[in-house]
Structure 1
Amino acid sequence: MIRILVVDDQQLVRMGLRMLFEQAPERLTPDVILMDLRMPGVDGITATRRILAARPAIRIVALTTFDDDHLYPVPAAGACGFLVKDTPPVELLDAVRRTVNGEAPFSRDILNRLVARVVPRPFHLRHP
């Protein structure tokens, strides 16, 4: 049984994700937290840092609309994955299972953008 906590400021998103994961009963100490990044008050990156400082064994996956500004801060805060909210339900369920098994789920687009920022562009020789 996987314990999941959904952190999102939009009620519709919370309700939809709860329906998706309703087979997994909620508990006080989750195995995986799906963390929205844009919330009033404390943003998801700050919340991720605070939660992991108190409970380092919890696995946090950012689940948000895509924004290039969050590419580095999300993993730097300790999140083990980064998924976009339009991830298909089957893939989201699989990502949660993989997270519990120690993997780091990233949406393909996010992973491609991270790699593009880290890996230099191919070197092109100039012809005289």
Structure 2
Amino acid sequence: MRSCLAVLCLWAFPLVTLADAVHTIEVINDTRSSIDSFAMAPAGSGRWTEVSFKTPMQESWFDYEFAVKVQFRDGDGCFRDLRTMLSDGRRVFARNFNLCQYQSYRPGTYFRNGHPGSRILP
């Protein structure tokens, strides 16, 4: 009986590890505007998790040329949709961003050569 329990625990361990995957991404502000918030969702899901960069006085402290590391824990894989809200009202979207391949994201840059692209909306 104990050997069956040990085998079951060893079998389930990789599933628990996958469920608690930690992803870290560095958001680098190259937009020439302040970033009010940054949100991430599993690709195509619409389940946004938002990080606000506004102070209680409604002013953003995430200014141009600043960088912030965002860390989160989940088991939804590598591909994410990213949404950046700028203080001037613009929204920047990047679809299917691969967190396992890229450790940093610059919302003001259009990526080329097969990298995920950002789309800026008014």
TM-score (norm 1): 0.29
Of structures 1 and 2, the one scoring higher in RCO (CA 8 A, sep 6+) is 2
Rg (Cα) greater in structure: 2
